[in-house]
Amino acid sequence: MRLPSRFHLALAAAIVSWLAALSACTESGAGPSEPASAPSAVPTVPTPAVVLNIDTGPREIPVGASIMLTGGVNLASTGLPLSTPITWSSPGPGILAFQPLGSQAVRITALQPGVTTVEASASGTTRKLDVTVLPVTSQPSTLVAVDFRMLEVQTGANNWEYAPELVLRDGSPRGGSALIAVNFEVPGLGPAPSCSMVRPVGSAPVEIFHEMYGDFELSIGGGGRASAGDAIARLTVRTADGTAATLVLHGPIVPGSWPTTYSGGLLAGALACGG
């Protein structure tokens, strides 16, 4: 049966429309709707909490002098030591210079007078300490030595140790002077560990080293016997006007005993001694 031409035209138009719709669906990627897949989540590994062990006691340093700071990093959960590097910095421009000594220590040199802080950081943990850089004066210090001598103790057949006895008095009216560093030398043995003051001396005589053991310990030598001559104490002091002065003392080497005992009073925590 022959269909009317009008029917042929309608059928052709429907086919064209259907093909166009199919082509559009193919190009657009449309099809049965599927749920969009969520992006893969990257697991976040938290940084372990650490404890930063730094002596945060304030420091006083004369211009041109250096101190060494050391620290330690421990895992907070167990207390185990870590080799995590410590970063040292200061916001005070031009006051201090930093020289790393390994991964957890630093040498700090005072460049110009001022007050600043030193910041030690490791694994997101930061601790701070105050540093005052003092100008150097040539004026005599009001901090005077009442007594200085080096006690010699024989601890073995060929072993000798030396303990300094140092008593100081502050002669300033306000008691504003303080010992901020001291180095001892024993003839024939060379320099001993340096010690830095952690609090002012005050106006009364103070016996800095009382015995060769305990919290006040500073035992020099531990080997051969010293040669003839005086022991030397090189003191750096803060004067009452806020400047730094140097005081050099010479004292005899005298026989001592083990343990050493004196009649003077003790000053707890007067000095912190180290390398």
pLDDT, tens digit, 9 for 90 and up, residues 180-220: 877 888 898 866 655 554 444 455 566 555 433 333 346 67
C-alpha 154/C-alpha 221 separation (Å) is 11
Examine residue 35 and state whether it is found in any structural domain, yes or no: no
Domain of residue 61, residue span? 50-134
Residue 150 sits in the same domain as residue 247: yes
Q: What is the pLDDT of residue 250?
A: 94
Q: Are the beta carbons of 246 and 195 closer than 8 angstroms? A: no
Residue 128 sits in the same domain as residue 149: no
The strand pairing partners of 128, in sequence order, are 119
Mean pLDDT of 57-63: 87
Q: In the predicted model, what is the mean pLDDT of the chain? A: 75
Examine residue 10 and state whether it is found in any structural domain, yes or no: no
Residue 70 sits in the same domain as residue 169: no
Residue 239 sits in the same domain as residue 148: yes
Q: By mean pLDDT, which of 7-16, 42-51, 177-186 is the weakest?
A: 7-16
The answer, yes or no, to whether residue 260 has pLDDT greater than 70, is: no
Domain boundary residue among 134, 163, 193? 134
The per-residue pLDDT for range 66-88, each reduced to its tens digit, is 888 889 999 999 999 999 999 99
Residue 158 sits in the same domain as residue 92: no
C-alpha 209/C-alpha 261 separation (Å) is 10
- As for how many domains the chain has, the answer is 2
Q: Where are the beta strands (DSSP E) in the chain?
A: 50-54, 59-62, 66-75, 81-82, 87-89, 96-100, 105-110, 114-122, 125-134, 143-156, 159-170, 178-186, 190-191, 194-197, 206-207, 220-223, 231-238, 244-251, 253-255, 271-274
C-alpha 164/C-alpha 217 separation (Å) is 10
Examine residue 15 and state whether it is found in any structural domain, yes or no: no
Phi then psi for residue 271, to 5 deg, are: -130, 150
Mean pLDDT of 42-71: 83
Residue 155 sits in the same domain as residue 62: no
H or E, element range at 18: helix 5-28
Domain at 105, CATH number: 2.60.40.1080
Residue 214 sits in the same domain as residue 157: yes
Examine residue 126 and state whether it is found in any structural domain, yes or no: yes
Examine residue 243 and state whether it is found in any structural domain, yes or no: yes
Domain at 250, CATH number: 2.60.40
Q: Which residues contact residue 105 at a Cβ distance below 8 angstroms, ignoring those fewer than 6 apart? A: 68, 69, 70, 71, 86
Q: Are the beta carbons of 235 and 131 closer than 8 angstroms? A: no
